[in-house]
């Protein structure tokens, strides 16, 4: 069967990572090389920009800047958190997307993102089939949370894990210098899966090294047990470093962050906006354990620290973007590019195709047997799983002592359709 001729569109969605642009670069450069794809469009701010017909031509960008995307953090094309409702509930959105595709002869759609983004790629693929529009829609995985199912791991996770493990080691060295008891509480990303927080364990070389305890969303959180854990570390080492996921919940299912803010805001996908749980834990320690407490909220730095990205993660991210184009030209649609870990002693990885139906809106959590019985640390198999993903360092182009990252012009093309109004 002859490959489908036409243009392609690449877009990014959700929270950025330090290597999401490596995936985009893989898509763009392979599309240029393909011979089947003519124009390569980018959508400004993901599917939200697609609906507005806010598109720009990547063919007109400097090849040097596109190459620099490989080592540039955050979402160079612009991101969004726009929730596509079901086709039945909001068919106008889908009709608009197909209209934009038709207006610009876009026959390939590559959407880079996490759980919700895979849902979008899946719905667009299904609608195109329903209305008879020939389109190849492929999801490219991205999430530091590492919670997409079936794929062995996700682009972005390894680099964030490398940064967290390194900085936890450095925080630990700082925390242990005093002759009085100190507690340092580190808040890390992770709503319902604790893969990222678990990576803090890579920092520990000997028993008294940080982190002393790790608390994950997979285990119900007890303030009483937390207090006892912290006291035990202070008794042994005179300092305690705690790593915990922002999504930890009490035994009754309430996020720790909601204790301070019972009316917590929600994002476009209905998720409670997390953050601030470290302040709750800090207050508990001050009142019940120790008067010298520091909190470190890693916030967005953990997902944007490209200066300390994993080379393995960076190369695999590019590989996923490149493979997405290859799979699409072969004729696949409604799929996500996944990663398969080799069975040998030496770490290897290759891509596979996964049905978007099997990924969209689903989560992969840490297996219970990879968490210790006390629920406050991880077991060796989880360390063995993470360690190969943080290997190697990315060479960053430097100018005047700081990194030089990509600068895309993103000049919007002339619109062919009427202005879109959100219904």
Element housing 182 (H / E):
strand 182-188
For residues 132 and 268, membership in a common domain is answered with no
DSSP codes of every residue in 236-265 = HHSEEEEEEETT-BBTTS-BHHHHH-TT--
Would you state the torsion angle of the CA atoms of residues 95, 105, 84, 190, taken in this order, to the nearest 10 degrees? 170
The answer to whether 307 and 77 are in contact (CB under 8 A) is no
Separation between Cα atoms, residue 27 and residue 7, nearest integer Å: 13
For residues 134 and 222, membership in a common domain is answered with no
14 Ramachandran zone, left/alpha/beta (phi>0; psi -120 to 50) = left
Q: Which pLDDT score is estimated for 188?
A: 97
Separation between Cα atoms, residue 151 and residue 141, nearest integer Å: 9
Give the count of domains, the chain. Answer: 2
For residues 119 and 131, membership in a common domain is answered with yes
Q: Which domain-ending residue is among 260, 286, 304?
A: 304
Separation between Cα atoms, residue 47 and residue 313, nearest integer Å: 25
Angstrom distances, CA of residue 279 to CA of 175, 187, 295, 299: 18, 9, 7, 13
For residues 208 and 273, membership in a common domain is answered with yes
For residues 258 and 170, membership in a common domain is answered with yes
Element housing 163 (H / E):
helix 157-175
Separation between Cα atoms, residue 232 and residue 166, nearest integer Å: 24
For residues 251 and 332, membership in a common domain is answered with no
Residue 398: CB atoms within 10 A of its CB come to 10
> Computed from CA positions of residues 187, 191, 194, 195, in that sequence, does the dihedral angle turn out positive or negative?
negative
| CATH code of the domain in which 227 resides | 3.40.50.460
Residue 244's Cα: distance from chain center in Å?
18
Angstrom distances, CA of residue 53 to CA of 102, 349, 413: 12, 37, 9
Query: Euclidean distance between the first and final Cα of the chain, in Å?
Result: 40
For residues 166 and 113, membership in a common domain is answered with no
Q: Residue 18: which of 150, 161, 121 has the closest Cα?
A: 161
For residues 293 and 315, membership in a common domain is answered with no
- By CB atoms closer than 10 A (0-12, 13-18, 19+), residue 307 is middle
Residue 420 lies in a domain: no
What are the catalytic residues?
145
> Computed from CA positions of residues 256, 258, 264, 269, in that sequence, does the dihedral angle turn out positive or negative?
positive
For residues 142 and 168, membership in a common domain is answered with no
Return the biggest CA–CA distance within the chain: 73
Helix (H, G, I), strand (E, B) or coil at 296: strand
Local confidence pLDDT in tens for the 423 residues of the chain: 567 999 999 999 999 999 999 999 999 999 999 999 999 999 999 999 999 999 999 999 999 999 999 999 999 999 999 989 999 999 999 999 999 999 999 999 999 999 999 999 999 999 999 999 999 999 999 999 999 999 999 999 999 999 999 999 999 999 999 999 999 999 999 999 999 999 999 999 999 999 999 999 999 999 999 999 999 999 999 999 999 999 999 999 999 988 766 555 555 555 565 668 999 999 999 999 999 999 999 999 999 999 999 999 999 999 999 999 999 999 999 999 999 999 999 999 999 999 999 998 899 999 999 999 999 999 999 999 999 999 999 999 999 999 999 999 999 999 999 999 876
The answer to whether 349 and 341 are in contact (CB under 8 A) is yes
For residues 150 and 173, membership in a common domain is answered with no
Domain, as residue range, for 206 = 157-304
Taking CA 184 as the corner, what is the angle to CA 182 and CA 189, rounded to the nearest 5 degrees? 170
For residues 166 and 300, membership in a common domain is answered with yes
Q: Which pLDDT score is estimated for 83?
A: 87
Residue 236 lies in a domain: yes
The partner residues of 7 in beta bridges, in order of sequence, read: 106
Would you state the torsion angle of the CA atoms of residues 179, 183, 187, 188, taken in this order, to the nearest 10 degrees? 60
Residue 373 lies in a domain: no
Separation between Cα atoms, residue 383 and residue 2, nearest integer Å: 46
Helix (H, G, I), strand (E, B) or coil at 208: coil
Q: Which pLDDT score is estimated for 291?
A: 93
Quickly tell me which residue has 């303030």 as its tokens: 223
For residues 90 and 18, membership in a common domain is answered with yes
Residue 378 lies in a domain: no
Residue 370 lies in a domain: no
Residue 268 lies in a domain: yes
The answer to whether 379 and 371 are in contact (CB under 8 A) is yes
């Amino acid at each position: 069967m002859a490959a489908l001729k036409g243009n392609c569109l690449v877009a990014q969605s959700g929270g950025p990572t330090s290597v999401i642009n490596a995936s985009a670069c893989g898509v763009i450069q392979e599309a240029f090389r393909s011979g089947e794809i003519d124009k390569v469009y980018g959508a400004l701010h993901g599917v939200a920009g697609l609906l507005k017909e806010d598109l720009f031509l990547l063919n007109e960008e400097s090849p040097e800047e596109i190459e620099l995307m490989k080592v540039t953090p955050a979402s160079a094309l612009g991101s969004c958190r726009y929730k596509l409702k079901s086709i039945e509930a909001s068919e106008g959105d889908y009709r608009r997307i197909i209209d934009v595709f038709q207006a610009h002869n876009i026959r390939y759609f590559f959407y880079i993102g996490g759980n919700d983004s895979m849902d979008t790629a899946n719905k667009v693929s299904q609608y195109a089939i329903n209305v008879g529009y020939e389109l190849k829609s492929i999801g490219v995985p991205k999430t530091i949370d590492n919670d997409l199912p079936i794929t062995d791991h996700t682009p972005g996770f390894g680099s964030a894990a490398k940064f967290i493990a390194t900085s936890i080691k450095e925080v630990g060295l700082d925390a242990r210098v005093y002759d009085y008891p100190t507690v340092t509480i580190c808040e890390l990303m992770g709503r319902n899966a604790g893969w990222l927080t678990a990576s803090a364990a890579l920092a520990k070389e000997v028993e008294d090294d940080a982190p002393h305890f790790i608390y994950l969303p997979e285990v119900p959180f007890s303030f009483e047990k937390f207090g006892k854990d912290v006291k035990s570390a202070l008794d042994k080492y005179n300092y305690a470093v705690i790593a915990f996921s922002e999504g930890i919940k009490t035994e009754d299912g309430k996020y720790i962050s909601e204790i301070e803010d019972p009316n917590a805001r929600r994002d476009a996908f209905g998720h409670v906006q997390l953050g601030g749980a470290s302040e709750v834990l800090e207050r508990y320690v001050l009142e019940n354990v120790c008067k010298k407490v520091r909190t470190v909220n890693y916030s967005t730095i953990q997902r944007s620290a490209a200066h300390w990205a994993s080379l393995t993660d960076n190369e695999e991210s590019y590989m996923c973007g490149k493979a997405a184009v290859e799979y699409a030209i072969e004729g696949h649609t409604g799929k996500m590019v996944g990663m398969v870990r080799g069975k040998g002693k030496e770490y290897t990885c290759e891509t596979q195709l996964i049905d978007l139906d099997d990924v969209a809106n689903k989560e992969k959590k840490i297996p219970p047997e990879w968490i210790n019985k006390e629920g406050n640390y991880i077991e060796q198999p989880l360390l063995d799983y993470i360690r190969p993903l943080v290997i190697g360092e990315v060479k960053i182009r430097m100018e005047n002592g700081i990194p030089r990252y990509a600068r895309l012009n993103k000049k919007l093309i002339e619109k062919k359709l009427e202005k879109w109004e959100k219904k």
